[in-house]
Amino acid sequence: MNVQARNTALYCATLAGLLMLSACGKNEQAANPPAAAPAATAPVPAAPTPAATTPAPPASVPATDGNTPAPAATSGKSASVQPANDIKVAAVTIGSAVDASHIISKVQRRFAPTDKAIYASVTTLGNTDHASLSANWSYVDGKDQSFSSTTESVATDGPATTTFKVQNPNAWPEGQYKVVISLNGRPVASENFEVRS
């Protein structure tokens, strides 16, 4: 019986120690919020300003001190505040075929009159919620006569490819052609190509 009493006492002491350790962890977690509370209490005058900043980010974000609201505004609002200025055309590729991702799979600048479709892939870099890319196709030898124009909306958080396609059910007239790419209505790139037998 003496051994059983010792085991019971040891078990109770172990349980009491575990309870004390778990209570210590709870006290530290409880101690952290009061330590953070004074830090949150110090900028109490700034608290009404971030509340006003959330509904109107373009006007208020630069005017605030930025300590607390800046990370929230940067992660969620910054890309949408300047979408048109954060995107640029990096490359334009011409070809006669695209892969499953609509990226040019056969790059070329010379086409046969019997080629039914000609593609232009436009690679953009940057972030935007809404931008417009346009492709204006023209027959240079035909007095630079425009024969097709297409506009696509772009919303992206990084590099993206937009592909334009022009078709001719008949044979293409031989000569020099060009496609002009515009971003938000401004020409930013052009590529020349030719049709020859």
- Residue 79 Ramachandran class (φ > 0 left, ψ -120 to 50 alpha, else beta): alpha
**pLDDT of 15 over the 50 cut:** yes
Q: Which residues contact 160 (CB under 8 A, 6 or more apart)?
A: 123, 124, 154
Note the pLDDT tens digit of each residue in 45-82.
333 333 322 233 333 333 334 433 333 322 233 333 44
Question: By CB neighbour count within 10 A (0-12 exposed, 13-18 middle, 19+ buried), where does 128 fall?
Answer: buried
**pLDDT of 125 over the 80 cut:** yes
- Grade residue 142 by pLDDT with cuts at 50, 70 and 90: confident
Give the closest residue to 59 by CA, choosing from 45, 68, 67, 69.
Answer: 69
Does residue 122 contact residue 89 with C-beta atoms inside 8 Å? yes
Q: Residues 132-154: what's their mean pLDDT?
A: 93
Q: Residues 30-41: what's their mean pLDDT?
A: 40
- Sorted by where each starts, the structural domains of the chain and their CATH numbers stand as 2-81 (no CATH), 84-195 (2.60.40.1490)
Question: What is the percentage of the chain residues whose pLDDT exceeds 70?
Answer: 57
Alpha helices in 77-193 (DSSP H): 78-81
Residues constituting the chain: 197
